[in-house]
Amino acid sequence: MITAYLYGEPFDTEAVVEEVPIGDRQTRFTVTDEDGVRIFRAPLAPSDAVYGLGQTMRGINKRGGRYVSFNCDDPRHNDEMPSMYGSHNFFVVDGAEKYGAFFDTPARAVFEIGFKGSGEICVRCERDVKLYIIEGESAYAIVRRFLRAIGRSFVPPLWAFGFGQSRWGYKNEKDIEKVLFGYRKAGIPLDYICMDIDYMDRYIDFTLNKRRFPNFAAFNREMKKFGIRLVPIVDAAIKEEKGEPTYEEGVQKGYFCKNREGGYFRAAVWPGMTHLPDFLRPEVRKWFGRKYKVYTDCGVEGFWNDMNEPSIFYSEYTKNKALHKYILKNHKEDPDFVANGFFSDYASFYHEVNGKKINHYDVHNVYGYMMTRASCEGLSALTDKRFLLFSRSSYIGAHRYGGMWTGDNTSCWAHLRQNLLHMPSLNMCGFLFSGADTGGFMGNCDRELLLRWLALSVFTPLMRDHTSKSTRRQECYRYGKTEDFVSIVSLRYKLLPYIYSEFMKAVLNYDMYFKPLAFVFPEDRRAAKIEDQMMVGGSMMIAPFMEKGKSERTVYLPEPMTCVKYDGNNFLCRFFPAGEHIIIAELHEVVFFVRKGKLVPVGKGAQDTSSLRLDDVEFLGDGEQYELYADDGYTRDVSLDRIRILKK
Ligand code: MIG
């Protein structure tokens, strides 16, 4: 059961697509008002767990933390970091009392979940909010009910489930060719290469640097012959530049956000001074989305959207302050920087929704969502196949229009672990097509960390190695003894019949692809507390290696399972009874488990998905049949009808 309660007149985020009845008396939370901030409180029993909140730091059980929904571009992803790039205000309380709550507000909201040992949940909403309460018999059932209400997830093409390589710093055709040949020569599979901001002409959206890419359409065609798709980045802000069509049109049509005086708001990002498209308006979305045509005309089938929190270095109003601080201090040591919107200046510009002027601060968290929506709707009109799209900033609802990645992490073991922790929480909020920068964005990834990280990414729908400028080159073929990388990445391709099928079934059944053990074995008190193992799809459990220098770890099996070790050639299967076990995996090996009575299909693998057969499979495990999802990999019409039952 799902019921909505209105507190004031909240902005309609369109996060929920189902007609939900409005209740008149909400009983889960007590509500008070302090200076216009609504405070919702609910007691927590000592043994209650709280799951959800999407892209937030810390564990799967969110207890003990404070989380702030206010999208921000701050790479300090440590446990104390209250906000990230997306805001996902849904959680589920799992204890004697069970219920889900979604605080649907595009403005800032603070979630204290048993914070500092308090025995309560306290949610502060700075603006009007629509509160959805979801009742159900288990945490898992409640999440599934919620997933149905927010609508079906975005589905990318099959090739987007392949492996992708990216780096901030690839500049021209030659840089990209090097990556292609590096991978093909080493025999490490690869499906796409991302193009970061340097492909553009002076960071102007919807342009190409003609010197670096003299004939982009021909180059793209050539790359496709080698089984590689190019995936360009698109940033949110538009450079202020006389004569540039996007800028001129936007100005003429009045499509950019306005400042306090009624002129266009000016903000500095990579291109210098920019204007921000008012993505909250349907006509602006339509206009922006159709701009992708310059690239789709060249045969591009995938994009990533960045800087759409929106990330702002400083505004016309904060410029002096920003420059002052920038020069006098290292901004990274200044806690005010970005995190608190100090230079970002989110209260100084305005949107226009249905003729009404709305301050950006009041709707901040849906900006990236509406950009993703613009891109998705544009691409849907421009092409007739499925396309890849993933975004940095998001809000619940954005999952229907694109995938997302978790932003600027670091090459450290803690962030490998955080990658695993993020996945089920994101799934609870609708984001099925997601992943992290494999190997870490900032910092220098060493060989061991990259291999272990890849061994986790094998299971995440989005599997992309990405890193920042001036870090160690992070392409797999640069780390020596490339057969270890061949082993891990090939496993991804052998598992694609499973990964793709389980992803599609999760989408079509409004289910999760990554589940905490607590959702599958709710009666097992030990399993319910485990956060370093995860259920992947309906047949599998993983137990990644996330500690430096360790090639063994303990794993807890709530039920008997088949332990599978892939060593680069063979799948070595052993039956494990329930209970605790020690598993060993060298750097080129991956261990996973197949549930009792279930099967995992494995195919022959490929260098890229164009030559991959989804239905030519063998089975691991002791089950009898498997529901395989196989299609051409790009048709828009995804449906449960495409499932085939295969017998062992
Ligand atoms: O301010 O485009 O998260 O993936 O490589 C940095 C350059 C801008 C941030 C993205 C990152 C990307 C980088 N971008």
Which atom of ligand 1 has the smallest separation from the CA of 196? 2
Measured CA to CA, the distance from residue 518 to residue 526 in angstroms comes to 9
Nearest CA to 177 among 125, 222, 132?
Answer: 222
Our answer on whether the CB atom of 74 is closer than 6 Å to any ligand 1 atom is no
Q: Ligand 1: distance of its center to the CA of 536 in Å?
A: 29
Q: Ligand 1: distance of its center to the CA of 388 in Å?
A: 18
From the first residue on, what is the mean pLDDT of each consecutive set of 10 residues in the chain (648 residues)? 97 98 97 96 97 98 97 93 97 97 98 96 98 98 98 98 98 98 98 98 97 98 98 98 97 97 94 96 98 98 98 86 57 40 81 96 98 98 98 98 98 98 98 98 98 99 97 98 98 98 98 98 96 98 98 98 98 98 98 98 98 97 98 97 96
* Mutational pocket test of ligand 1: of 84, 170, 304, 306, the residue with most ligand atoms within 8 Å of the beta carbon: 306
3-state secondary structure 104-171: ECCCCEEEEECHHHCCEEEEEECCCEEEEEECCCCHHHHHHHHHHHHCCCCCCCHHHHCEEECCCCCC
β-bridge mates for residue 351, sequence order: 358
Dump the DSSP string for 296-311: HTTT--EEEEESTTT-
Q: How much is the pLDDT for 326?
A: 56
Predicted structure pTM score: 0.97
β-bridge mates for residue 275, sequence order: 238
Q: How much is the pLDDT for 396?
A: 98
Our answer on whether the CB atom of 197 is closer than 6 Å to any ligand 1 atom is yes
Q: What is the DSSP letter of 7?
A: E
- Tell me whether strands 403-405 and 37-43 are parallel, antiparallel or unpaired: unpaired
37 neighbors 17 (Cβ within 8 angstroms): no
Q: How much is the pLDDT for 331?
A: 44
Q: Tell me: the pLDDT tens digits for 349-408?
A: 999 999 999 999 999 999 999 999 999 999 999 999 999 999 999 999 999 999 999 999
Q: How much is the pLDDT for 289?
A: 98
β-bridge mates for residue 302, sequence order: 388
Buried b (16+ CB within 10 A) or exposed e, 598-634: bbbbbbebbbbbbebebeebebbbbbeebbbbbeebb
Q: How much is the pLDDT for 325?
A: 61
Our answer on whether the CB atom of 310 is closer than 6 Å to any ligand 1 atom is no
Q: Which residues neighbour 338 within 8 Å (Cβ) at sequence distance 6 or greater?
A: 72, 73, 74, 311, 344
CA dihedral 572, 573, 576, 582 (to 10 degrees): 10
Grouping H, G, I as helix, E, B as strand and the rest as coil, residue 351 is strand
180 neighbors 219 (Cβ within 8 angstroms): no
Helix residue ranges per DSSP H, 399-482: 413-428, 447-457
Our answer on whether the CB atom of 440 is closer than 6 Å to any ligand 1 atom is no
Q: Tell me: the pLDDT tens digits for 125-144?
A: 999 999 999 999 999 999 99
Give the Å distances, CA to CA, from 36 to 10, 20, 127, 128, 319: 13, 26, 8, 9, 30
Q: Ligand 1: distance of its center to the CA of 270 in Å?
A: 10
How many CB atoms lie under 10 A from the CB of residue 552? Answer: 10
Our answer on whether the CB atom of 94 is closer than 6 Å to any ligand 1 atom is no
Q: Ligand 1: distance of its center to the CA of 306 in Å?
A: 7
Nearest CA to 199 among 231, 151, 240?
Answer: 231
244 neighbors 275 (Cβ within 8 angstroms): no
Our answer on whether the CB atom of 408 is closer than 6 Å to any ligand 1 atom is yes
Our answer on whether the CB atom of 306 is closer than 6 Å to any ligand 1 atom is yes
β-bridge mates for residue 34, sequence order: 37
561 neighbors 541 (Cβ within 8 angstroms): yes
Our answer on whether the CB atom of 436 is closer than 6 Å to any ligand 1 atom is no
Q: What are phi and psi of 275, to 5 degrees?
A: -115, 155
The tokens of 539 are what? 């047949």
* Mutational pocket test of ligand 1: of 233, 235, 411, the residue with most ligand atoms within 8 Å of the beta carbon: 233
Grouping H, G, I as helix, E, B as strand and the rest as coil, residue 494 is helix
Q: Ligand 1: distance of its center to the CA of 409 in Å?
A: 11
Q: Tell me: the pLDDT tens digits for 260-275?
A: 999 999 998 999 899 9
User: Which residue, judged by its Cα, is nearest atom 8 of ligand 1?
Assistant: 307
Q: Which residues neighbour 510 within 8 Å (Cβ) at sequence distance 6 or greater?
A: 144, 147, 148, 152
Our answer on whether the CB atom of 235 is closer than 6 Å to any ligand 1 atom is no
Q: How much is the pLDDT for 332?
A: 47
Q: How much is the pLDDT for 320?
A: 73
Our answer on whether the CB atom of 75 is closer than 6 Å to any ligand 1 atom is no
Q: What are phi and psi of 531, to 5 degrees?
A: -120, 5
Q: Ligand 1: distance of its center to the CA of 467 in Å?
A: 9
β-bridge mates for residue 98, sequence order: 94
Which atom of ligand 1 has the smallest separation from the CA of 235? 2
